[in-house]
Structure 1
């Protein structure tokens, strides 16, 4: 196979070996390969440790995957940082010699890890996800319900009862291609019928994406991808870990974030052309239903929000439906759990507020103004977390999505499919499997609506000051109404569900606490990753304080 072409830094790294190329994994060249692994990992989009100084990267083990007379490897890399816990990442490695038939796309030059020379033979080690023969071999493992062994342990196929119904009789005939939007994992689509997700960060235990997805498939929930099976790493030293997940492919028009931005940007164009005719929209609480002017320009999207809320409530009702499965059976919220949640919320908020104080001098005037007002309301902010400790909540905690926002929902053109049940990526796998209030998912979506509104506004072409102010007021009203419609429909479908407090007032107060907690978390994230975006969650905090504080204590925003 001809080596992928292109001027990449990875191609300048040449390792000399005596023997086959896989000597870099377990032979004399292993130390040289491990020495360059940190810089190679930092160039991968899926590597989650970019903000942490790496102390070392070592090969824990590897498992060969044979195909077409050649061998690729699943390689498990332990990354030790100068501070904090270590992590394990999965590399899939294939090799191509100069002069062979092309098996990896020429445009995949960025997939090259290193060049290897053995005598007068030279080739490249590249990401095997780009190798259609390798990914087809993984699918074949699942089809044949087989296992393969290596130094680390063995990879075992786990098939669900729905495997044949989802995959058909000959899934190995489907043509694979890699999805371009690689994030924390790598995904391969087979003939627009199946999708195989390779988890790049490996943690001990079952991945919630597999666990929850399988539960939903078995319990008849049709608005998430149907799970066909998984590949698990088994060893004598730890419990099985999920390496890959196979699901039915969902044809779609993009995610709900893209759909929302497109609809809102079109609406903002109509608002700009109205020259103030849509100013003065009344917000929820002032009138019982959306103003006619809002319905005229955004009515179709408001209907979509109602449908999304229904799919969300149906998700939670399904997740709470099996009282015989210990990992999913609803549990009554205890006083101990409530205090634990409250302490965590206060700890995070205190840390973020201190970070805001430290960053104040680096902010622009507008951000400084709202930051000072938020900092002045520190005690009031912490007080708004108190509803989570209410002894009269009388609610349950269940398994939830855990990282719910518009980007975790696919839009099919007339419906929504909820995806990616891994949970919040910064939490450990054990934490992501903890049962929580489903209102946390609702809060995540409300905050996502706010981000969508502000993002659409920022992307809108610059205009006259009075038009810009009109667009800002309209966007604030749009976010308020979309959020209210989502919550109302969600509560309507989940009415009398034991996982919600028995009184609506307590439900709304609890939801507000979770929205505030989410916005505080977002402030910390934006300061560390996208400082220019910190105004969005800051303004979100200000609006929550203004909405829920007594009238004489407001004027935060």
Structure 2
């Protein structure tokens, strides 16, 4: 099926006039707190098989400092009249459409959020490609908490809801094949069973400057019933002082299996980093530290340790060849269900170009992300009762011995599972430290700007990863 093309109709501009204020208040709006110019680049009409509403996807270009992207805004249009409360479904309260009794293209119309409206969901599924899903859009539930997209639970039509699925509506669109569609498809086709299988996907074309581009609008994937978010699970175990090591070891094995499956399913023809891959990694680490210390001056005390680690990184003779990786792997990107781990959310940073999100990298970067996430679970869950973040209080976090011990056991077990019990060799240990340090420096800047009471979490990692001025040892302690 060819990707449907975007058209320009008078009602698109009228709809944008109604949606502007609502758009700016959405969690997924990419230009919060700054002036943003909104313009309509067209819309896409989908057909509801039951003809209960007009279904329209409005494409809104959003331009602000550091932002220039096209947003996808599904809406349903219903003639004004009747029991309004029975017809309004989705993210918004049932009595609060975008604009009630508005005039759109000359007709008095209720304009409703389409994401949770059965009319939009039926139309989306009818237009999508893929094997399809036997679901009941009338019982759909929009999930809360997502920052960048909108996900909708679609209950299955089988017994006890068997066959349920999740629709992810991509809000910030990008030209090209979205990795959250293509990567799980490739992994599932390769026989890797630790990824929810994609069931349907929808593409479209839209204007970009003087040309037309094509990309994914969303994907429907299998739903894992009863699954728990990996980070929430780890935090709860940390809070109870329950060891995470066994699950972490199993998770390490799954990550290793993912990397092997990615290498088979999406082979890389040529390395994307230059011949001096170690040198490039060392330069990137120095640049990251320069950026971080400019934002958080107290990081300056780590300058000697960063310089030593960068030099050690540059001396690595044979760093691994880059391959396709997850790119944003942490405990919040995995689920625990059916006594196994599932990996999801391969999309990467939604505002980054597709080419940047699919660029091959060191597989160890995914491992470093998991190691950092285990540290955060120990701190937030509060294995030693030190994590004020666990109950929402803004108390300054300071490491407790129990937190550090719980995290150390989890990190060691994850590495043991990933390496299948093989000890970490010297070069891999240096690269892993450098990649984990890179992540911790980013975290330090983020926490200093947004949650200063959590700054101690990345600082504790820096103390662990880098030799202190009074401690010249370079012992590797992953």
Say yes or no: TM over 0.5.
yes
Once the two structures are superposed, the pairs formed by residues 112-191 of structure 1 within 5 Å of their partners are: 112-118=97-103, 123-142=109-128, 157=129, 159=130, 163=131, 167=133, 170-171=134-135, 175-191=139-155
Aligned residue in 1 for 2:472: 552
Gaps of 5+ in 1: 1-24, 143-156, 268-296, 358-370, 463-467, 497-502
Q: Could you tell me how far 1:234 is from its partner in structure 2?
A: 2.4
428, 448, 468: which is aligned to 1:527?
A: 448
What is the TM-score with the length of structure 1 in the denominator? Answer: 0.72
Once the two structures are superposed, the pairs formed by residues 304-323 of structure 1 within 5 Å of their partners are: 304-322=247-265
Structure with greater Cα Rg: 1
Please give the alpha-carbon distance, in whole angstroms, between the structure 2 residues aligned to 1:30 and 1:424: 29
- CA shift digits 1:296-346 (9 cap, x unpaired): x52xx3211111111111001111124xx55x4574864344444333332
Q: Could you tell me how far 1:222 is from its partner in structure 2?
A: 0.3
Aligned residue in 2 for 1:253: 227
Please give the alpha-carbon distance, in whole angstroms, between the structure 2 residues aligned to 1:347 and 1:36: 44
- CA shift digits 1:101-143 (9 cap, x unpaired): 623238832873234434998553221012112112111222x
Once the two structures are superposed, the pairs formed by residues 50-69 of structure 1 within 5 Å of their partners are: 50-51=32-33, 53-67=34-48, 68-69=50-51
Aligned residue in 1 for 2:26: 44
Please give the alpha-carbon distance, in whole angstroms, between the structure 2 residues aligned to 1:308 and 1:382: 32
Please give the alpha-carbon distance, in whole angstroms, between the structure 2 residues aligned to 1:461 and 1:74: 40
Please give the alpha-carbon distance, in whole angstroms, between the structure 2 residues aligned to 1:331 and 1:387: 22
367, 372, 375: which is aligned to 1:450?
A: 375
Please give the alpha-carbon distance, in whole angstroms, between the structure 2 residues aligned to 1:233 and 1:452: 39
Q: Could you tell me how far 1:98 is from its partner in structure 2?
A: 3.5
1:39 is paired with a residue whose SS is helix
Please give the alpha-carbon distance, in whole angstroms, between the structure 2 residues aligned to 1:90 and 1:261: 34
Aligned residue in 2 for 1:342: 282
Query: Are 1:108 and 1:130, in contact at CA under 8 Å, matched by a contact in 2?
Result: no
Aligned residue in 2 for 1:419: 344
Pair 1:426–1:553, CA change in 2 (3 A): farther
Aligned residue in 1 for 2:407: 479
Query: Are 2:283 and 2:310, in contact at CA under 8 Å, matched by a contact in 1?
Result: no
176, 200, 215: which is aligned to 2:171?
A: 200
Pair 1:28–1:219, CA change in 2 (3 A): closer
Aligned residue in 2 for 1:94: 76
- CA shift digits 1:52-109 (9 cap, x unpaired): x23310001101122233312111100111x234111110011342324623238832
Aligned residue in 2 for 1:30: 13
1:396 is paired with a residue whose SS is coil
* Number of aligned residues: 442
Query: Are 2:40 and 2:58, in contact at CA under 8 Å, matched by a contact in 1?
Result: yes
Gaps of 5+ in 2: 1-7, 157-163
Q: Could you tell me how far 1:394 is from its partner in structure 2?
A: 4.5
Query: Are 2:116 and 2:140, in contact at CA under 8 Å, matched by a contact in 1?
Result: no
Q: Which moved more, 1:381-390 or 1:418-427?
A: 381-390
Q: Which moved more, 1:389-398 or 1:450-459?
A: 389-398
Q: Could you tell me how far 1:442 is from its partner in structure 2?
A: 0.4
- CA shift digits 1:385-418 (9 cap, x unpaired): 3444335124211111111111100111521111
1:213 is paired with a residue whose SS is helix
- CA shift digits 1:529-548 (9 cap, x unpaired): 3233222112211221148x
215, 219, 224: which is aligned to 2:186?
A: 215
428, 436, 443: which is aligned to 1:507?
A: 428
Query: Are 1:132 and 1:177, in contact at CA under 8 Å, matched by a contact in 2?
Result: no
Aligned residue in 2 for 1:287: none
Structure 1: 4+ residue segments shifted above 6 A: none
Pair 1:413–1:214, CA change in 2 (3 A): closer
